[in-house]
Amino acid sequence: MKNEESGIKNKDRLPRPVSSTRPAGPFFILHSSFFIGGRPRPPQRGSVIIVVLVTLLLASFMILKFIESSSLDLLLAARKADRFHLRDDAYAALELALAVIAEVKAIDGDTLNSPAQGWGDPYTYAGMTPREGVTVEFTFEDESGKLSLPQMDQNKLILLCEKLDMRQNDAQRFADAFLSWSKADYTGVNFDSVPSVYEREQLPHKVPQRSPRSWEEFAAIAVVRDFLYDENGQLTPFAEAFRQNVSLYSFSDTNINAACPASLLMAGMDDSQIARLQQFNAGETRIASGNLPFFRDVKEAGAIVQGVADYQYFGAAIHCLRITVTVHEGVSSTRLQVLVALDSDVSLPPAFSAPSSSVSSTTIGYWGTGTASTSSSTGNTSNNNSTGNTSGSGNRTGSSSGSRSGNSGSRQTSGTTSSDTSVSSTAVIPGPTTQQQALNYPFTLLEIHEDSGPPPASSDDEATETVNSVRRT
């Protein structure tokens, strides 16, 4: 019995066969982790995928924002670089225009009258085109079509103010104050504009006894500034009309081919006469066969104007020409504006009057009888009439002059820039021998202005335009 019982116990100790319907112990233990309280545990893989997708979404959003902000900065930098490169195109176009003007001037009797002579489109005249993708626009303004302020006497200045709708008493006060500032031989009539008034101001100073060299200088002239600026420091309508009809430069006469409206009114023309002349100058008048679309002589204007007019203040040649070159490439643009003197006697008044003796004589000038004085000083020579005529100086700071030397091999020119400062440059041309020769440049550049085109309506316009271009791309 004992053996049988022990055998039965030994049988219980033997390993039982693995049932086909029941998993083995380790496998069952492995899969038991999926059950909680007899129920299957929910899977965790879906939440991991969601976290990964959200991370990718946030990363993509941050990358897009970074690309957008970087694109704006890069585009602004690229536009500045493009404008810098367009500067070379602008100067190349300017040189082409000057070359065309010089050729036409030499062919046509050494006289430049009007763009109707054929130099209004330099690229067409020269048979050239700008480089691919670049457009160039030329604008020509005859500065000598205005009235030369340094050449005006009291009567003409009063007449100009009256033609610009100023009352006679105010015009007389305006002219008296201006001449007290600009003429050494003029004695002021009104107490509020005599030279001693400036010695009692907050910053005492003396009058320069020469015509203004910049429009900002008018703000320092007593009485005159009251007519040019309002209480907020803005230009008055009279000031805008005054600047449109008057030039600060000295030249002999006003070009009838581009005469300003005020000069025509001063010549006694009525509205119909002025309209006929302006239509002819604009090319809107039908020209008879064999006639030129511009005037070579003032006498020719009588057939167009008709009626009675005084032409003694006019000529038919350009003395001073303002050239504006605007270059575009895509959304980038640059503008170059220069004032070119075609005659050697065109200049600004000297910055300082010569402190030496002078000899006066009576002469017939632009505005009639006046007094001309010849002054000299050490190292500098200036010829000035009573109306602030031309000054020639090779070394004087701030004056607009040009001096050429055929033996020294240098050419020095000075003119005013956009900040009204003097800029001097010397060009040395090496020759085949040890003696150098000067470049016989046909014109003198009086002013040079560079900018990025017309100013925007607001300071945010450029950024807005750039953002729009980024969005379009």
Count the Cβ atoms, other than its own, within 10 Å of residue 229.
15
CA distances for 377 relative to 166, 184, 389, angstroms: 41, 17, 17
| Nearest residue to 277 via CA among 250, 227, 235, 314 | 314
- Tell me what pLDDT residue 367 has: 42
Return all residues near 1 (Cβ < 8 A) that are at least 6 apart.
none
- Tell me what pLDDT residue 22 has: 52
Q: How far apart are CA 343 and CA 318, in angstroms?
A: 9
Inter-residue contact 274 to 265 (CB < 8 Å): yes
- Tell me what pLDDT residue 81 has: 64
| Nearest residue to 120 via CA among 264, 289, 235, 257 | 257
**pTM for this model (two decimals):** 0.65
Count the Cβ atoms, other than its own, within 10 Å of residue 284.
8
Taking only the tens of pLDDT, the chain with its 473 residues reads 555 555 555 555 555 555 555 555 544 444 555 555 555 655 555 677 888 888 898 999 888 888 877 776 777 666 666 677 889 999 999 999 999 999 999 999 999 999 999 999 999 999 999 999 999 999 999 999 999 999 999 999 999 999 999 999 999 999 999 999 999 999 989 999 899 999 998 888 899 999 999 999 999 999 999 999 999 999 999 999 999 999 999 999 999 999 999 999 999 999 999 999 999 999 898 887 778 999 999 999 999 999 899 999 899 999 999 999 999 988 788 999 999 999 989 999 998 765 544 433 333 333 444 443 433 444 343 344 433 343 333 333 333 333 333 333 333 333 443 434 333 333 333 344 445 556 677 899 999 999 876 655 444 444 444 333 333 33
- Tell me what pLDDT residue 287 has: 81
- Tell me what pLDDT residue 39 has: 59
- Tell me what pLDDT residue 453 has: 67
Please, which contacts does 165-169 make with residues 24 or more away whose CB atoms are closer than 8 Å?
Answer: 165/238, 165/241, 166/227, 166/238
Inter-residue contact 113 to 294 (CB < 8 Å): yes
- Tell me what pLDDT residue 379 has: 39
Pairing of strands 320-329, 332-341: antiparallel
Q: What is the pLDDT of residues 19-74, one digit of tens each?
A: 555 555 544 444 555 555 555 655 555 677 888 888 898 999 888 888 877 776 77
- Tell me what pLDDT residue 459 has: 41
370 φ/ψ angles, rounded to the nearest 5 degrees: -150, -170
Return all residues near 444 (Cβ < 8 A) that are at least 6 apart.
340, 341, 344, 346, 400, 401, 402, 413, 415
Pairing of strands 39-40, 35-36: antiparallel
